[in-house]
Structure 1
Amino acid sequence: MIIISLRKLLKSRYCQTRGLKVASAGQTPAEYCLHLVRNNDFENFLCTLILPKILRSTAFAIRAFNTEIATIQDQITDNRYGLLRIEFWTDTLNNIYNDKPIEHPTSLELYRVMHKKKLSKYYFKRLIESRSNHINSSTFTSLQSMENYAENSVSTIYYLLLEAGEIQDIKTDHFASHLGKAHGIVTLIRSVPHNTERRIINLPQDVLMKHGISSESVLQKKSTNKLKDVIYEISTKAKQHLNKALSLQNQIKNESRIIFLPYIFIKDYLDNLEKADFDVFHPKLQERNDLLVFKLLWKKLSLQINKSSRFN
């Protein structure tokens, strides 16, 4: 059954490589959102694709909105233009909640799914504010500020997905908070090679100073022992949050478990980072592990058989 499911997933038109352009004539807003997530956030695309049908379209709309604002920083060379884009999405969000969605596919799709699911405007505003603050200052002064950013930019997505699934539970929210922090920190670590190409340092300044390493030395893309110590300390914090989340798994709502399957990719990266001796520039860490698709589908099947199936 897993082999059949895998073949269907990999042969589906949603997994075909079509380049980075996502808008095309005749594309529905739902298709636009799906392709946007696929082309920019493939791991979360896979995790969203296997969600129950009743939740899937809403989840893609949420992730598409996040992708729209998350990719702004990569598309600008002047922060002023980035803030103008942020202002556009702030106005777009307000128009959605005022029943006046603009003619943009992500806006239209989010407006459509909100007629079926009640989603808090507060969480979308939180996503926007986290990205806006990061455009103004892409440098983290401390590891704590990096954690806060992960909470606001990633945990918030999990809160929205739980809302979409009509899951209200304090323990489950607690799980989402820790998983989101782990996910966000790992995403920032993974972005180091890409960001150094753009002369952006997104590693916490207090950790860099603690280990006696300058921003300029990071830009040289040489994985010195000092830089490895920095990456070790940051990744340890991510692992602590992941382990804390997993320690709560017996207390969360069973129907929420499939929402949290991105943990598979988080754990895999942290394990591989350790195997690479915390060399963030190691070529192996830049490769996609296609075997994780098997694990993802296996976990989905396990949850279908036993809704309380453990994550690890």
Structure 2
Amino acid sequence: MHRSGGVCCLKQFVKHASSMAVKQSGAVSQNHCMQLVRQYDKENFLCTLLLSNPHRRSALAIRAFNVEIARITGSVSDDRIGQMRLKFWEETVDKLYKNDLKHVPDQPVIREIKKAIDDHKLTKRYFQRIISSRLNTNLRFVTTKQLEEYVDDSVSTVLYLVLEAHGVRNVHADHVASHLGKAQGIINLLRSIPCQERRNVVPIPQEILMQHGVSQERVLRNQKDDKGVEEVVFQLAGVAHRHLEHARNLWGSVPKQVRPVFLPAVATGRFLERLRRANFHLTDPRLAQSDFLLPLLYYWSYFRGKV
């Protein structure tokens, strides 16, 4: 074999091997994001599976990023450590947008987010908003408006990014995302209350507690015969319900190709109904049970094109 021919074959082999390594690395990163969302965000994971590729891959990357950020608050007891970890992600996002990859860790979620950013030109401030929203580690709100701003930043923003991953920047779709995100975010906070006793966190606005003469301690105890606590939960659930109805009323104005993005409305509505049947008692055992019909209802809603 001539030397030039051998060099050419070697270059082709290296190119092929590099290409295979990239594909394998991409598969590992995709699988990591999928398992992360499946473990920590099951309801949204089921919805995301109904999206078509390549949008599904990007949506899983975005939701995996959100899981990483959300887990920081619940996994550290020292706020300073949590803020340091959030700072790491803030700097990482900044470097990704500057293409400063030499100083970015080789981590599956980061690889997938970088690909999504490059493929869809995702808006940087949305990632920054998700991170900055988690700086509110104690989840204490004076007014309902403050709570709505928090869930808009931490939940609705994820939907904005998923819409961008579909190539849609539409004011009507954004309005639906805003209302649905607020409804879903409020429900998430209500569901978290029975688990917050250790952290002594009550994410219910002070204005609602004061209106019903209920203390945070009473909410954490959540005794079954405490009508005041039930009224507090009922009022906040009502705020979530109104946002959900707004989202549904605007449904017809959303481009058809991104309607599956809003399938989380199904789970949100289902939980609100279960909460009503439990008389707004957050520790009712029925609320902790898995909704086994949810996968089927997601598919039915997807098939009908209606939530």
TM-score by length of 1: 0.86
* Kept after mapping to 2: 8 A contact 1:185/1:235: yes
* Kept after mapping to 2: 8 A contact 1:95/1:102: no
Cα distance 1:26–1:61, how it changes in 2: closer, same or farther (>3 A)?
closer
Aligned to 1:107: 110
Aligned-residue CA RMSD (Å): 1.6
Residue 105 of structure 1 aligns with an amino acid whose one-letter code is: P
Larger Rg: 2
Aligned to 2:306: 310
Aligned to 2:267: 265
- Looking at structure 1, the residues matched to 155 and 217 of structure 2 have their Cα atoms a distance apart, in angstroms, of 28
| Worse-superposed segment, 290-299 or 100-109 | 100-109
Gaps of at least 5 residues in structure 2 are 1-24
Pairing 1:232–2:228 present? no
- In the alignment, which of 252, 255, 259 is matched to residue 254 of structure 2? 252
- Looking at structure 1, the residues matched to 216 and 132 of structure 2 have their Cα atoms a distance apart, in angstroms, of 26
Residue 89 of structure 1 aligns with an amino acid whose one-letter code is: W
Q: What's the CA shift string for 1:122-142, capped at 9, x where partnerless?
A: 10001011111x12x421112
Gaps of at least 5 residues in structure 1 are 1-24, 303-308
Q: CA deviation at 1:27?
A: 7.5
Q: What's the CA shift string for 1:278-308, capped at 9, x where partnerless?
A: 1111110111111111111122223xxxxxx
The 5-angstrom pairing of residues 32-47 of structure 1 reads 32-47=32-47
Q: CA deviation at 1:56?
A: 0.5
Aligned to 1:20: none
Q: CA deviation at 1:106?
A: 0.9
* Kept after mapping to 2: 8 A contact 1:196/1:218: no
Residue 231 of structure 2 aligns with an amino acid whose one-letter code is: D
- Looking at structure 1, the residues matched to 282 and 142 of structure 2 have their Cα atoms a distance apart, in angstroms, of 20
Aligned to 1:206: 207
Aligned to 1:59: 59
Q: CA deviation at 1:210?
A: 1.0
List structure 1 runs of 4+ shifted beyond 6 angstroms. none
- Looking at structure 2, the residues matched to 54 and 27 of structure 1 have their Cα atoms a distance apart, in angstroms, of 13
Residue 236 of structure 2 aligns with an amino acid whose one-letter code is: I
Q: CA deviation at 1:26?
A: 11
The 5-angstrom pairing of residues 286-305 of structure 1 reads 286-302=288-304
- Looking at structure 1, the residues matched to 201 and 178 of structure 2 have their Cα atoms a distance apart, in angstroms, of 27
Aligned residues between the structures: 279
Q: CA deviation at 1:177?
A: 0.8
Matched residue SS, 1:116:
helix
Q: CA deviation at 1:220?
A: 2.0
TM-score by length of 2: 0.88
- Looking at structure 2, the residues matched to 269 and 146 of structure 1 have their Cα atoms a distance apart, in angstroms, of 19
Matched residue SS, 1:53:
coil
Residue 120 of structure 1 aligns with an amino acid whose one-letter code is: T
Q: CA deviation at 1:113?
A: 2.4
Residue 117 of structure 1 aligns with an amino acid whose one-letter code is: H
- In the alignment, which of 102, 124, 130 is matched to residue 121 of structure 1? 124
Residue 252 of structure 2 aligns with an amino acid whose one-letter code is: N
| Worse-superposed segment, 57-66 or 215-224 | 215-224
Pairing 1:178–2:174 present? no
- Percent identity reads 37
* Kept after mapping to 2: 8 A contact 1:196/1:221: no
